[in-house]
Amino acid sequence: MINHVEVPGLGLSFVINRVALWIGDFPIYWYGVCIAAGLLLALCFAFHYAEDFGIDSDRMVDVVVIGTVCAVICARAYYVAFAPFEYASVWEMLDIRDGGIAIYGAVIGAFVFGGLACKWRGVPMLAMFDLTSMGFLIGQCLGRWGNFFNQEAFGVNTTLPWGMYSENTQSYLAAWQDTLAAQGVTVDPSLPVHPTFLYESIWCFVAFWILFAGMKKRRFDGDILLQYIILYGAERFVVEGLRTDSLMIEGLGLRVSQVLALASALAALVLEILLRRRCRGKTLMVALARSGGNKPLPAGFEPACETALPAAAPHREFAEKTRALNGELEAFLKAQKDQEARPESEAGEPDAPAHPEDEPAPQPEAGEADARPEAPETDGQPGEENTPQNP
């Protein structure tokens, strides 16, 4: 549980306990704490800026829950599928407290199942992917420090001043020295190694600020997603080449992450160029988030405020206009519901006359006229008064 980490080039030394705290007999590792902290910070960012992407935060909760759970499952499944060893039991496959999750599996799981959740909950999918991409960089920036506490995900030997070594790096390299030599990688377990987790953490931090700076300048939905794939793919291709624990494609001798990184970055770059040309001179309009999702507005609803804003509009304007639109929509739907709930008898009754004398005389029922006594015959002409005559 304890690692003594040395950074001789900088004269630094650390004593690291992998366990952050104990709950009874159950250990909580720093690895999990780092991942949870990254996820929490990413969620705070996503909920704050959801309206700028036309996303209703209440509906986004379901997408986040499904995407997060499936991301963890897929990350572990990806690692187990390409691991260079066999697990002794199913429990070992499920136990991630000692590490062993692949970020590419997490990304694939989050986007695939998160996209399905977007369809289910009526959330604009590409806009959600744009927002998620920046959240991923926040989570990866912090989550990578879990590798530091576990002393894993390091690289080959280096003479750079920030090179590090510990009991864990020495024991790992000693155990895998022959395997690495067969792959053409020569290592000395007693020498410092590249802290590749640190390289990725710094790269993700810089990439986040690059995407955040261009967030209001995006030309189309999915623009930030493509930029994320380009930036992260380039980083992964470089850093993965330094690592000693890469997952390999059996029989080809290729690193899985490098192949995926290069292919995805090149594909995203081509799409980014083509779509940027197509959207040149156009302004991306973002439909304001509605509590009912991205369904069409109800018939007869004519809002007094805008229903869409340019993507470049400030965050405060998105927040104010979104609240105004949803307030109008809620009042309209309430009035419509109240009208539909009125009893039919109340809805069909004619309005009462203003004055009693205006009321129409009651009409006799059928057969009532025949039952009345006949008036006596008179000699008077119609229209004349019948008055008694003098004898």
Q: What is the pLDDT of residue 3?
A: 87
- Position 385 pLDDT exceeds 70: no
| CA gap 38, 143 in Å, rounded | 6
236 burial type by CB count under 10 A (0-12 exposed, 13-18 middle, 19+ buried): buried
**Please, what is the average pLDDT of the chain?**
84
The three-point CA angle 319-324-329 to 5° equals 125
- Position 193 pLDDT exceeds 90: yes
Give residue 124's pLDDT band: very low, low, confident or very high (50, 70, 90): very high
Q: What is the pLDDT of residue 250?
A: 65
**Is there a contact between 74 and 106 (Cβ–Cβ < 8 Å)?**
yes
Give residue 380's pLDDT band: very low, low, confident or very high (50, 70, 90): very low
| Least confident segment among 13-22, 164-173, 212-221, 328-337 | 328-337
| CA gap 341, 357 in Å, rounded | 34
- Position 143 pLDDT exceeds 60: yes
**Is there a contact between 310 and 283 (Cβ–Cβ < 8 Å)?**
yes
Q: What is the pLDDT of residue 60?
A: 94
Q: What is the pLDDT of residue 381?
A: 47
What does the pLDDT look like over 36-95, one tens digit per residue? 999 999 999 999 999 999 999 999 999 999 999 999 899 888 888 777 666 667 776 777
What does the pLDDT look like over 252-281, one tens digit per residue? 667 888 888 999 999 999 999 999 999 998
Sequence-distant (6+) residues with CB within 8 A of 250 are: none
From the list 318, 188, 13, the residue with the least C-alpha distance to 3 is 13
Q: For the residues of 94-105, what is the DSSP string, one character each?
A: H--TT----HHH
Q: What is the pLDDT of residue 383?
A: 45
- Position 387 pLDDT exceeds 50: no
Mean pLDDT of 112-130: 94
Q: What is the pLDDT of residue 221?
A: 96
| CA gap 243, 197 in Å, rounded | 10
Q: What is the pLDDT of residue 192?
A: 96
- Position 359 pLDDT exceeds 90: no
Q: What is the pLDDT of residue 129?
A: 96
**What is the helix (H) or strand (E) element at residue 20, kind and residue range?**
strand 19-23
Sequence-distant (6+) residues with CB within 8 A of 374 are: none
Q: What is the pLDDT of residue 306?
A: 87
Q: What is the pLDDT of residue 85?
A: 63
146 burial type by CB count under 10 A (0-12 exposed, 13-18 middle, 19+ buried): buried
23: helix, strand or coil: strand
- The residues spanned by each domain of the chain are 2-168+189-278, 288-339
| CA gap 82, 253 in Å, rounded | 12
| Greater model confidence, 360 or 72 | 72
| Greater model confidence, 365 or 101 | 101
**Region class of 296: left (phi > 0), else alpha (psi between -120 and 50), else beta:** beta
- Position 390 pLDDT exceeds 80: no
Q: What is the pLDDT of residue 360?
A: 57
Mean pLDDT of 103-113: 88
- Position 150 pLDDT exceeds 50: yes
Mean pLDDT of 110-122: 92
Mean pLDDT of 22-41: 91
Q: What is the pLDDT of residue 79?
A: 81
- Position 384 pLDDT exceeds 50: no
| Greater model confidence, 378 or 15 | 15
309: helix, strand or coil: strand
Q: Which pTM does this prediction carry? A: 0.80
**Is there a contact between 216 and 134 (Cβ–Cβ < 8 Å)?**
no
- Position 314 pLDDT exceeds 50: yes
